[in-house]
Amino acid sequence: MATKAAMAAITGAHTAGIYADMTVDGPEIGTLVVIVDRAKNLPNRKTMGKQDPYCAARLGKDAKKTETDRRGGQTPRWDQELRFTVHDSLDYY
Protein backbone atom coordinates (compact mmCIF):
# COMPACT_ATOMS: atom_id res chain seq x y z
CA MET A 1 0.00 0.00 0.00
CA ALA A 2 1.40 3.40 -1.00
CA THR A 3 1.99 6.05 1.62
CA LYS A 4 0.20 9.37 1.57
CA ALA A 5 3.38 11.19 0.47
CA ALA A 6 3.99 8.70 -2.34
CA MET A 7 0.40 9.05 -3.55
CA ALA A 8 0.74 12.83 -3.48
CA ALA A 9 3.88 12.65 -5.61
CA ILE A 10 2.09 10.44 -8.13
CA THR A 11 -1.17 12.39 -8.31
CA GLY A 12 0.31 15.88 -7.96
CA ALA A 13 -1.83 16.56 -4.89
CA HIS A 14 -0.48 18.39 -1.89
CA THR A 15 0.63 16.89 1.40
CA ALA A 16 0.42 18.76 4.70
CA GLY A 17 -0.13 22.10 2.95
CA ILE A 18 2.94 21.90 0.68
CA TYR A 19 2.00 21.91 -2.99
CA ALA A 20 3.88 20.59 -6.02
CA ASP A 21 4.99 24.14 -6.93
CA MET A 22 6.68 24.34 -3.47
CA THR A 23 4.36 27.00 -2.08
CA VAL A 24 2.82 26.47 1.31
CA ASP A 25 -0.62 27.85 0.45
CA GLY A 26 -1.03 26.60 -3.10
CA PRO A 27 -0.69 28.46 -6.37
CA GLU A 28 -1.48 32.17 -6.41
CA ILE A 29 -4.81 32.89 -8.12
CA GLY A 30 -5.19 36.63 -7.59
CA THR A 31 -5.17 39.63 -5.28
CA LEU A 32 -7.97 40.81 -3.01
CA VAL A 33 -8.00 44.57 -2.42
CA VAL A 34 -9.97 45.75 0.61
CA ILE A 35 -10.55 49.50 0.86
CA VAL A 36 -11.04 50.55 4.47
CA ASP A 37 -12.72 53.96 4.51
CA ARG A 38 -14.13 54.72 7.97
CA ALA A 39 -16.09 53.45 10.96
CA LYS A 40 -19.06 54.94 12.78
CA ASN A 41 -20.47 54.63 16.29
CA LEU A 42 -17.57 52.69 17.80
CA PRO A 43 -18.02 52.06 21.54
CA ASN A 44 -16.13 54.57 23.67
CA ARG A 45 -13.48 52.53 25.52
CA LYS A 46 -11.59 55.48 27.04
CA THR A 47 -12.84 57.55 29.93
CA MET A 48 -10.40 60.41 29.30
CA GLY A 49 -9.40 61.65 25.84
CA LYS A 50 -10.09 59.99 22.50
CA GLN A 51 -9.29 56.43 21.50
CA ASP A 52 -6.81 55.56 18.75
CA PRO A 53 -8.62 52.92 16.62
CA TYR A 54 -7.32 50.81 13.75
CA CYS A 55 -8.94 48.22 11.49
CA ALA A 56 -7.64 44.65 11.26
CA ALA A 57 -8.52 42.02 8.65
CA ARG A 58 -7.45 38.43 8.04
CA LEU A 59 -7.64 36.17 4.99
CA GLY A 60 -6.48 32.65 5.71
CA LYS A 61 -3.12 32.96 7.47
CA ASP A 62 -2.43 36.51 6.23
CA ALA A 63 -3.36 39.35 8.61
CA LYS A 64 -3.14 43.09 7.89
CA LYS A 65 -4.12 46.26 9.71
CA THR A 66 -4.50 49.92 8.88
CA GLU A 67 -2.51 52.69 10.45
CA THR A 68 -3.88 53.94 13.75
CA ASP A 69 -6.13 56.99 13.44
CA ARG A 70 -4.68 59.10 16.24
CA ARG A 71 -7.50 60.57 18.27
CA GLY A 72 -10.02 59.11 15.80
CA GLY A 73 -12.46 58.50 18.63
CA GLN A 74 -15.78 56.90 17.72
CA THR A 75 -15.67 57.95 14.04
CA PRO A 76 -12.19 57.18 12.67
CA ARG A 77 -11.15 57.63 9.01
CA TRP A 78 -8.45 55.55 7.40
CA ASP A 79 -8.99 55.59 3.60
CA GLN A 80 -6.40 52.83 3.08
CA GLU A 81 -6.02 49.73 0.93
CA LEU A 82 -5.23 46.33 2.40
CA ARG A 83 -3.94 43.89 -0.24
CA PHE A 84 -4.13 40.14 0.23
CA THR A 85 -2.62 37.55 -2.09
CA VAL A 86 -5.23 34.86 -2.72
CA HIS A 87 -4.03 31.27 -3.10
CA ASP A 88 -5.85 28.15 -4.23
CA SER A 89 -6.02 26.73 -0.72
CA LEU A 90 -8.44 24.86 1.50
CA ASP A 91 -7.68 27.33 4.32
CA TYR A 92 -10.32 29.71 2.89
CA TYR A 93 -13.15 27.18 2.97
- Residue 36 pLDDT more than 60? yes
- pLDDT for the residue numbered 15: 47
- Residue 13 pLDDT more than 50? no
Report the percent of the chain where pLDDT is more than 70. Answer: 69
Q: Would you identify the CATH topology of the domain 28-88?
A: Immunoglobulin-like (2.60.40)
Report yes or no on whether pTM surpasses 0.75: no
- Residue 91 pLDDT more than 60? yes
Express each pLDDT in 75-89 by its tens digit. 999 999 999 998 887
- Main-chain phi, psi angles of 61, to 5 degrees: -95, -5
